[in-house]
Amino acid sequence: MSLDRVTMDIGKKRIRIYYTSDVHGSDVCFKKFLNAGKIYSADLLILGGDLSGKLIVPIVKEGHQSYSAAFQGRNWQISGAQELDALIKKIRFTGLYPFVTERAETTRFESQVEKDRLFIRLLSESMEKWTKLADERLKDTNLKCLVMPGNDDPYEIDSVLAKSTHILNPDGKVVEIDETYELASCSNGNLTPWQCPRDIDEAKLHVRLESICSSVTSFESAIFNFHVPPYDSGLDTAAKIDGELRVVAEMGQPVMMPVGSHAVRQTIEIHKPMLGLHGHIHESRGTTTIGRTLCINPGSEYGEGILHGAVIDLEGGKVKSHVLTSG
């Protein structure tokens, strides 16, 4: 078996997939993802990218058992372990990373280098908790679980995912779900204004996608698990951003535009897989077809603790049914 192929062999006549993406550090959404296998009677769970939270929220110790924090547009003044624990849970609910620190220590994190180191540390600690939880929840089940980073995720989390005994990171590989279905995965995205860790230009993305696809043996029953959606597919519509990272508006309304990947669309049009699973653009929840390929973006409302997903049934080398879910 080559390093770019992994055999899973679910071995059932009908296979049910639960797919979601873009949980962005939300503890509640990740727990819902693990529970989705039982709720939807799934055989395979797939989390398709953007696992990382967005920001650190410092909680500054001001005195004995008293703390302050800026969060959700307000200044929090709390006291005691119970209030501190409640605030930490509230911050984690939204996918952000609380960091309890002394006032004197905050100056240490004024440099971007130190901020980045702290972010990676908190992210890695969070991912370790997630993988341990997944290993505990999945150990006595037959449920298979794939968790892939997305363009927003630093490469440091790959080593954390690799330690899991029940999670497989499929990025850059072709997973043989069984003798019929293959799943090709790619975490990278086309360039964005935010210069995310796995953003690459379209030419390089095209080369990477074709390299991954070279290990697919039959595209007719293949699944493309590509984090970014295909360009101008209706699954990639987002607000236009100017050079200052501000939303461009006309007549008081944001200007919307396609922001997906030309390389992803081209790869789908060339190889005509059975199914495309995508995320990345939270506000473009929906399904579409490109030629014979059904493409799905479940969308994301992770900040509200809502897990959007899709349940897909495969049978006879085809997609028998699919439905978007929310909960």
Tens of pLDDT, residue by residue over 225-240, are: 999 999 999 999 999 9
Tens of pLDDT, residue by residue over 138-189, are: 999 999 999 999 999 999 999 999 999 999 999 999 999 999 999 999 999 9
Q: Where are the chain's structural domains?
A: 5-53+123-326, 56-118
- Assign domain 5-53+123-326 to a CATH class: alpha beta
Beta strands in the chain (DSSP E): 5-7, 14-20, 44-47, 56-63, 66-71, 74-79, 97-102, 144-147, 174-176, 182-186, 222-226, 237-239, 249-250, 253-254, 256-258, 275-277, 286-290, 293-297, 308-315, 318-326
Architecture of the domain spanning 56-118: 2-Layer Sandwich (3.30)
pTM above 0.75, yes or no: yes
Domains 5-53+123-326 and 56-118 share a fold: no
